[in-house]
Structure 1
Amino acid sequence: MTRLVLASASPARLGVLRTAGIDPVVRVSGVDEDAVAAALPAGTSPEGIVVALARAKALDVAATIPEFADDCVIVGCDSMLLVDGQLQGKPHTPEVARARWKGMAGRSADLLTGHCVLRLRDGEIVGEAAECSGTTVHFAEPAPDELDAYIATGEPLQVAGAFTLDGLGGWFVDRIDGDPSSVIGIGLPLLRGLLEDVGVGVTQLWRDARA
């Protein structure tokens, strides 16, 4: 029975998959994202960076899951917001989150999510597919007290671009152009195609199909 292993600690990604009928095994990678990005060749595109990070996470987890390695697919993802040509990850501090919102409020930016799928059989990687999805996010202009309240919740500190679409941050997104699941962190249309590329039909992974 093919199992899907999610190489991510993101509750949002896990929630998207569960809502879409998949109960993944969760394994969190120990990848140093800054080190991976720093090791990439100069001039690597923003899309190439997020795909490289997603691949590094998937490969890291591939070495740590012997109990599923007989037949599984590992999915790694990485999301960043592209603003004025600069990639932005998690802000981590209120000060950084506030500065980022000052720069993106009332504007548009591209949320890039790199995806990497590895197919494992008998402990060996027998298939790999990777790609980036991009979605344009049009941000509202929260009032100062609204932004203060949002930052005080802590939510924007640990998410790419300092916002969520499926949480409190959704109040401050006017609209998006593209795949909403990709903005949440894992694009279902793209993932379905990548799974097909490594020989796995998405319906094989639905929980009802295993019942």
Structure 2
Amino acid sequence: MISDRRIYLASGSPRRKELLTQLGIPIEVIRADINEDPLPDEAPIAYTERLAREKAKNGWSHVLQFGLPLRPLLAADTTVVLGNEIIGKPYDAADAAAILRRLSGNEHQVITSVAMCDAERMIVRTSVSTVRFRSLSDDEIDGYVHTGEPMDKAGAYGIQGLAGIFVEEIRGSFTGIVGLPLCETAALLADFGRPVL
């Protein structure tokens, strides 16, 4: 068993940090700022996998640039897909409300891709889950937007927060919907010599 189990997390997401801590993996956070705009006609899974790879590459460049110890780095990207349309984070409160109105009473997919790399390789794994929202009233949507919770989240909601009351059904990974699928992440950690158990 490796003595130094630490990894880098190229993400500012408190939810990802919390989920890795839940696994008992010590982390050091590195910011990885990239352009998250989809490419023309880019398929949703190709989009999340590309962004996860780019965040990992950006984070790894930071490790090398600052002469940090070489240890595995993890990055992830989550998006919401309605039909075949990628729905990112809302621009403002009005956009958040419009997104939630579209999700109301419908099924959508949540795709999270996780990339892990070191000096020699990069591996990407992807989780796809389906979420069904019950029909939401305008008052519920406005009340939820007013909390501020939707503003930094793909699809304008956080299933682990108040929006959990909107969810009728989930098929797939709850933690993948939150932003870091633990099954796929644990497999990557094992691939890079950091097994959870």
Q: Give the Cα separation in 1 of the matches to 2:187 and 2:26.
A: 19
Partner residue, 2:12: 9
| Aligned residue identity for 2:91 | H
Shift of 1:141: 2.0
Maintained 8 Å contact 2:80/2:110: yes
Maintained 8 Å contact 2:48/2:78: yes
Maintained 8 Å contact 2:5/2:25: no
User: What is the TM-score normalised by the length of structure 2?
Assistant: 0.90
Match runs of 1:55-134 below 5 Å: 55-66=53-64, 69-119=68-118, 125-134=119-128
Q: Could you list the runs of 4 or more consecutive aligned residues of structure 1 that deviate by over 4 angstroms after TM superposition?
A: 66-69
| Aligned residue identity for 2:6 | R
Partner residue, 2:43: 45
Shift of 1:6: 1.0
Deviation string 1:17-63 (CA, Å, 9 cap, x unpaired) is: 112222311111121222xx33xxx5542101101001101110111
Deviation string 1:88-137 (CA, Å, 9 cap, x unpaired) is: 11013111111111111011100001111002xxxxx2121012210101
Q: Secondary structure at the match of 2:120?
A: strand
How many residues of Structure 1 are paired with residues of Structure 2 in the alignment? 193
Does 1:196 find its partner at 2:195? no
Shift of 1:69: 4.6
Q: Secondary structure at the match of 1:64?
A: helix
User: What is the TM-score normalised by the length of structure 1?
Assistant: 0.85
5+ residue gaps in structure 2? none
Q: Give the Cα separation in 2 of the matches to 1:126 and 1:70.
A: 14
Partner residue, 1:18: 21
Does 1:161 find its partner at 2:160? no
Q: Residue 135 of structure 1: which of 129, 139, 146 is its match?
A: 129
Maintained 8 Å contact 1:79/1:185: yes
| Aligned residue identity for 1:161 | G
Shift of 1:185: 0.2
Shift of 1:14: 1.1
5+ residue gaps in structure 1? 120-124, 205-211
Maintained 8 Å contact 1:2/1:71: no
